[in-house]
Structure 1
Amino acid sequence: MARWHEVAAELRTAITTGVYAPGTKIPKEEQLEERYGVSRTTVRRAVAQLASEGLLQPVRRGGTTVRQQPPRQSLTLDLQAHRDELGYYFGQAVQALRAVQPPTVTEGPCPPDVAAVLGLTSGDPVVIRDRVMGDPTTGRVIQLATSYLPTDLAASTVLAEADTGPGGIYDRMEADLGWGALQWAGTISARAATPTESALLDLDPGVPVLCVIRTTIASSGAAADRVVEVNVTRRDASRFEVGYPITRHQ
């Protein structure tokens, strides 16, 4: 094990056992050098590792503090599609969210993980719909939502327009394009945040995003049995968690 790994491990233990409480500063670099008998470079690599894990937070001209871990809001795993006057929504926790920035619609290459779900080749063009969602009162960004749609189905249709009208793209698919009653399936994962996601969601260094990936399948018409959309929503993984009920098997 490299020496900086050992220093990081000892600091990590001190943080998790409460020796260094949330919001307090860890010793200065020169103090850590003396304590562990290592170089400044070794100390900085160890501290950078713990910052990437979300345990430490460098403060400009103020040393390094133990990151405060905010309480998490539970997103109950919802297995139903709901509907209100604005259209479909998925989960009670997102019903109140509204766009806090104008949505953008572009055409670009499909990401490799999404291409596999859409039955495309990585890099194939797709219509990309981006929405920044948040609290309509405070304007705080809470969720980023991106929809990927195959160009052979969506390009030059209402699905490629910024304003798709009442009910959004799902009403257009069902009512206007004749794709029948839509079906959905979802998965949950996490990954490192991109610089853009970190900025929009105001993430602390090292905090990943919680991803909910939803696929939309058409039931009839020209798109029958095809995945017509992959929607990827991202949230601050330090503030949100997924909850679900557990029942006793009969």
Structure 2
Amino acid sequence: MSAGFRGIAEQLRTQIERGFYAPGTRIPTEFDLAEQFGVSRETVRRALALLKTEGLLGTARSKGTYVQHPPVRLVIARYGAVANASRERADLGPWETACAEQGIEGRAVVTAVERESAFPAVAARLELEEGTEVVRRSREMWAGDRIAQLQDAWMPAALVEGTPLAGTTKVVGGVYAAMAAHGFAPGHVSEEIAARISMGTERERLSLAPGAWVLELWRITRDQNGRAVEVLRTVANASMSAFVYDDLPIGSAGRRDQVIDQR
């Protein structure tokens, strides 16, 4: 059969969605696909490039072109469970736990831990004076052989002094478990998410094509006394991360602390 590259991409997309090619499996070579569809290898190459841009396919030296796993689903309710140090697999943080439950090899890699002065966006969210000393922890969240998220977390230096949160190594079991262990257990969180075009080095680190979209999430964590103890900024590959907010109250029960941002 003969088809343009968009038609070929559509047929492969349908096969992936219907499970003909399972996540993690290798798809046929460009040569085999060219023979199957009766087109040139260049046409096949353009179809595969489109599916890679959409996040459906990936490429690795060890397995050629393969079907990407679905986005890692991060359920907001998970964070309360992860703060419990006695839970099963307590050595894993939220990202690693979510990946493990979905059969994906996930890991969190600390790339920097530094002290700095709180700039306006961070100071406002932490309810601190601008310039107050904070500890910034930067991490890469990996899913398989790709970085799915870039994270920067800021905490008041005076609060985390002398705890693993101010150290330069990975916090085993996750930040929330460490907070709970040192007397400022998380009480509740607020999050805001927006989609935007990827920029500069983040696009390179996330292996995104020019013009690809990311999800930018800002999360404020407060302890059980209402004090802001952490602000987190996550820049996520939009095809590899899904943020799930389930069982939320609506109606009069949901209007408490409601804020409408009309900026």
Q: Equivalent of 2:54, from 70, 74, 82? A: 70
Q: The residue matched to 1:85 in structure 2 has which SS?
A: coil
2:238 — aligned with what? 237
- Root-mean-square deviation (CA, aligned residues, Å) is 3.9
**Which 5+ residue runs of structure 2 have no aligned equivalent?**
10-48, 57-69, 83-88, 252-263
Q: Equivalent of 1:133, from 136, 141, 144? A: 141
Q: Is the 8 A contact 1:23 1:67 kept in 2?
A: no
Match runs of 1:98-109 below 5 Å: 98-99=107-108, 101-109=109-117
* Matched pairs, number: 185
Distance 1:181 1:132, change over 3 A: closer
Give the letter for the 1:151 counterpart. A
Q: The residue matched to 1:148 in structure 2 has which SS?
A: strand
Q: Equivalent of 1:169, from 175, 195, 212? A: 175
**Which 5+ residue runs of structure 1 have no aligned equivalent?**
1-18, 25-65
1:142 and 2:148 matched? yes
Distance 1:230 1:67, change over 3 A: same
Deviation at 1:129, TM superposition (A): 0.3
> Which contiguous aligned blocks of 4+ residues in structure 1 show a shift greater than 6 angstroms?
243-247
TM-score w.r.t. structure 2 length? 0.55
Whole-Å separation in 2 of the counterparts to 1:108 and 1:22: 52
2:226 — aligned with what? 225
Deviation at 1:245, TM superposition (A): 7.1
String of CA shifts for 1:170-207, please: whole Å, max 9, x gaps.
222211x2124543332322234342211210111122
TM-score w.r.t. structure 1 length? 0.58
* Paired-residue identity, %: 29
Q: The residue matched to 2:215 in structure 1 has which SS?
A: strand
Give the letter for the 2:113 counterpart. V
Deviation at 1:75, TM superposition (A): 5.4
2:191 — aligned with what? 186
Whole-Å separation in 2 of the counterparts to 1:208 and 1:123: 32
The structure with the larger Rg is: 1
1:43 — aligned with what? none
Q: Is the 8 A contact 1:86 1:167 kept in 2?
A: yes
Deviation at 1:209, TM superposition (A): 1.8
